[in-house]
Amino acid sequence: SVAVRQNWAPIGAKRFLQLVDDGHFDVGVPLFRCLRNFICQFGLSSQPERNRRRYRAIPDDSPWLPQGPSNRERDGRVRFPKGYLAYAGAGHNSRSIQLIIALQDSRQLAGGSPWEVPWGELLGNASFATLDQIYTGYGEKGPSQGVLNNKGWTNDLKLKFPLLDHILSCFRVEQISKKDSRQ
């Protein structure tokens, strides 16, 4: 379960919910770049025509986490804890459909750049148990983003990366009231 925190990053949260409502995750989304004890990147669809919809890049949300190297940890809390979700951007205003999730508490990045502002977090023990089971053995040598974007999850990729995990569905289950969400 993912709690979408619209008060953390309203633009990023809105895009994620758009992807959910559009059924983007319901056809298989490979978790193609998962780095042990760090992050997992995903968001490109198994079906290239979905990637070709070319969701336009969205503007960055205002950072709400403390920025800079001296703020990587504050009062015993790291900037981007395990289970936080953000966009995998490539610079200012570059967020589109690719996402990251922290596999462990992250001090070195995630949340410190404007395009990495968290918009959600995992909830519940079952969600974290699932997160801990994501296969990270391919690391940086997983499927190419270019191939996934242009050709999708091909038979060749299935043979080359048989252990790669996928998201098979994503849907809204309930709204959380403002009083239940973090400020």
Per-residue model confidence as pLDDT tens digits over 111-134: 567 788 889 999 999 999 999 999
pLDDT (0 to 100) of residue 173: 85
Q: Is the pLDDT of residue 182 over 90?
A: no
d(CA 12, CA 175): 17
Per-residue model confidence as pLDDT tens digits over 168-177: 999 998 765 5
Q: Across residues 85-91, what is the average pLDDT?
A: 90
Tokens found for residue 31: 């978790």
| Cβ-proximal residues to 180 (8 Å cutoff; 6+ apart), any chain | none
**Do 134 and 164 touch, CB atoms closer than 8 A?**
no
Burial level of 113, CB count in 10 A (0-12/13-18/19+)?
middle
Q: Is the pLDDT of residue 87 over 60?
A: yes
User: Of all residues in the chain, what percent are helix, strand and coil, respectively (each to 5)?
Assistant: 30, 15, 55
